[in-house]
Amino acid sequence: MTFKPSEYAFLRSQENDEWNANGLGTKENIKRKIAALKESVKQRQDISREDYAKLMGNRKRRIERIAVLRRVLLSQPRLYRVGVDDESFREIFAPLKDDREIHELLDQSQEFLGILDEYVFQHGMSRQEFRKALKKAEGSGSVKDFDISEFGVDWIVWRLEPYVELLANLMGIELEDLTINQAQWIADLSKVESMEYQAESAGVALPHWYLPEPQMTRACQALPSVQTRIHPQI
């Protein structure tokens, strides 16, 4: 895995404000972020079995949300159907399509979390026990790869969650409250071709979707903040 500072980063609003205030350029701020994430991984050396399972369970859920919305993030037509206009696509989402590193890291993070699922979540291994088992089976290089993989998970969450947050907010949901089921419904709405934009107020138009039953009722239950814009299919 490689983690290269770049001139581009889409951030959550609080971090964006912090970066604007500290006077550093994007590359320098990304270098600092990489260092902070690496330090966070180092601090897990003595983490308890319970805390590690909780921590990685959190990361697994967040990666799963990202994976559910992955194809939406890369498709202008699908983003348009959930409320992302052309300008926002060009300025925010378009760079993702050509970022091969991001896609590779997401695949690798999902694979790594799949391994953790067996050893940590199913068999109850602690982080230390898992690292020792890896070293015994595959040598010291595997332990280094383990640390890099942990860092990679945190890196991909940091890089892609701001995009997920934007989509969640378009549905009236805070990122912290977004469930995997809701993320799946956002992905499903992005595929609905029976939709249109309707003016809500001066200069503001929002997407409306037309769904058959029982999908319409289920979509309204999953996304109550936009249920007035989900209609029975004509």
Residue 170's alpha-carbon distances to 127, 184, 190, in angstroms, are 38, 14, 12
| Residue 101 and residue 24 share a domain | yes
213 within some domain: yes
Q: Give the HSE-up count for residue 2: Cα atoms under 13 Å, Cβ half-sphere.
A: 6
| Residue 234 and residue 150 share a domain | no
Number of domains in the chain: 2
Name the domain boundary from 149, 176, 203.
Answer: 176
| Residue 199 and residue 169 share a domain | no
pLDDT the model gives residue 1 = 45
Q: Show the domain range for 232.
A: 192-234
185 within some domain: no
Regions of the chain where pLDDT drops below 50: 1-2, 5
| Residue 120 and residue 217 share a domain | no
| Residue 166 and residue 80 share a domain | yes
Three-class SS state of 156: helix
- Cα–Cα–Cα angle for 156, 66, 6, rounded to 5 degrees: 35
H helix runs in the chain, sequence order: 13-22, 26-42, 49-73, 76-81, 86-88, 94-97, 100-116, 127-138, 140-170, 180-189, 215-222
48 within some domain: yes
184 within some domain: no
| Residue 206 and residue 110 share a domain | no
83 within some domain: yes
pTM, 2 dp: 0.91
Q: Residues in the chain, how many? A: 234
| Residue 206 and residue 118 share a domain | no
74 within some domain: yes
5 within some domain: no
Phi, psi for residue 33 in degrees, rounded to 5: -65, -45
CB count within 10 Å of CB 169 equals 15
Burial classification of residue 155, based on how many CB atoms lie within 10 Å of its CB (0-12 exposed, 13-18 middle, 19 or more buried):
buried
pLDDT the model gives residue 158 = 96
pLDDT the model gives residue 57 = 94
| Residue 234 and residue 145 share a domain | no
pLDDT the model gives residue 144 = 76
36 within some domain: yes
| Residue 151 and residue 91 share a domain | yes
| Residue 97 and residue 22 share a domain | yes
| Residue 127 and residue 48 share a domain | yes
- Residue position matching structure tokens 């942990």: 150
123-134: buried (b, 16+ CB within 10 Å) or exposed (e) per residue? eebbbeebbeeb
| Residue 216 and residue 147 share a domain | no
